[in-house]
Structure 1
Amino acid sequence: MWGNDVRFHVFAVGYMAPEYAMRGYLTDKADVYSFGILVLEIASGRNNTSYRSEEESFYLLDWAHLLKEQGNLLDLVDPRLGSDNKEEMMLTINVALLCCNATSTIRPTMSSVVSMLEGRAAVQILVSDPNASNNEMDAMMKHFESTLEMNTSESQIQTASSQDS
């Protein structure tokens, strides 16, 4: 059932860890990456990707990293959530960013994530692996975009053929 559903495939691509998308390595750390993306979506109230044209593309993780660099990480938070506890929201977003590290070995384990979210462990400092290349991330984005284009074409063909029947 899921194999034929184009929407499910497109949905899943945006949650794939870089090592899985590029080399097919599926580990527990790939699940941690997906969890981080999901937490960013919940906190921001936005989809992780929004693909229209190249100029209008939106990647939630890129936006989160930009806001963190600018010191405006709370700008990521969906205003509908209210601003009752900014400290908890900062902790949550920082944990999500740790989970979304491009290098799997730097990502925390899921048990560490739970400990950080529960306040039983300190939130680690977000470290980017100096050996992780931007080329790998660029390649992953190109893979995502080409998969999305291919699935959109398949969907259009399926729609056209069902209208002909």
Structure 2
Amino acid sequence: MAPEYALWGFLTYKADVYSFGVVALEIVAGKSNMKFGPNESYVCLLDWALVLQQKGNLVELVDPKLGSEFNVEEAIRMIKIALLCTNPSPALRPTMSAAVSMLEGQTTVDEVIMDPSIYGDEYKFKVLREQLNQIPQESMDSIGPESHIRLSDAIWTGTSSTSAQDLYDPRNLDTQ
């Protein structure tokens, strides 16, 4: 879920671009964004991808089940596009048409190195996970069609025909 939507309820077409980026990472890595964590320092696949980007070792993100049966250049291109799409700033994300054009090789992939440390606490994955863990289980079980969840200084208010029981409890995510 795009940070601007999760934190402040701002929903634009750039939120879809963000979601596409997450799905693209999941496809390349063969792992779920929220179920992946190589250790306690990294809480999701996107977090790990940012670290690998800083280290200059994006190929380590590729699903090991592929062995050597993949095009390294295409995998790196896909990861770089996914990272562009998941930029915390909606203004810096490409449009979907630009992302498709980059995937097709019609345009070059912009080199944007994101340093997770430059963003405020509300963008840090570990902080978000810890705040979710502070919500008592009873509260998660009783969330109904109208819910109010407080993270940082913002209160999310939403209505839905889906109850918390229809979804998963984010505190019970398994790491792989």
Hey, what does 1:61 align to over in structure 2? Answer: 46
Residues 67, 128 of structure 1: alpha-carbon distance in 2 compared, 3 angstrom cutoff: closer
1:123 pairs with 2:113: no
In structure 2, what is the Cα distance between the partners aligned to 1:121 and 1:151? 48
- Structure 1: state its 5+ residue gaps: 1-15, 160-165
Compare 74-83 and 92-101 and name the one that shifted more.
74-83
1:95 pairs with 2:104: no
Quote the offset at 1:120 in angstroms: 0.6
User: What is the aligned length?
Assistant: 141
Q: Is the contact between residue 50 and residue 57 of structure 1 (CA under 8 Å) also seen in structure 2?
A: no
Q: How does 1:5-154 map to 2 (within 5 A)?
A: 16-50=1-35, 55=40, 58-83=43-68, 84-128=70-114, 133-138=119-124, 142-143=127-128, 145-147=130-132, 150=135, 153=138, 154=140
Quote the offset at 1:136 in angstroms: 2.6
Residues 29, 59 of structure 1: alpha-carbon distance in 2 compared, 3 angstrom cutoff: same
- C-alpha RMSD of the superposition: 3.2
Quote the offset at 1:134 in angstroms: 2.4
Higher helix share: 1
Compare 146-155 and 27-36 and name the one that shifted more.
146-155
Instruction: In structure 1, give the amino acid aligned to 2:112.
Output: L
Higher strand share: 2
- Structure 2: state its 5+ residue gaps: 143-163, 166-176
Residues 146, 136 of structure 1: alpha-carbon distance in 2 compared, 3 angstrom cutoff: closer
In structure 1, what is the Cα distance between the partners aligned to 2:41 and 2:55? 21
Quote the offset at 1:57 in angstroms: 5.9
- Aligned to 2:79, what secondary structure does the other structure show? helix
Quote the offset at 1:96 in angstroms: 0.3
In structure 2, what is the Cα distance between the partners aligned to 1:151 and 1:35? 31
Residues 99, 151 of structure 1: alpha-carbon distance in 2 compared, 3 angstrom cutoff: farther
Encode CA deviations 1:30-81: one digit per residue, 9 max, x unaligned: 00000000010111111101389x9476311110011111111100000223
Residues 56, 121 of structure 1: alpha-carbon distance in 2 compared, 3 angstrom cutoff: closer
Quote the offset at 1:152 in angstroms: 5.5
Percent identity over the alignment is: 46
Residues 151, 33 of structure 1: alpha-carbon distance in 2 compared, 3 angstrom cutoff: farther
Q: TM-score, normalised by structure 1?
A: 0.71
- Aligned to 1:61, what secondary structure does the other structure show? helix
In structure 2, what is the Cα distance between the partners aligned to 1:107 and 1:51? 24
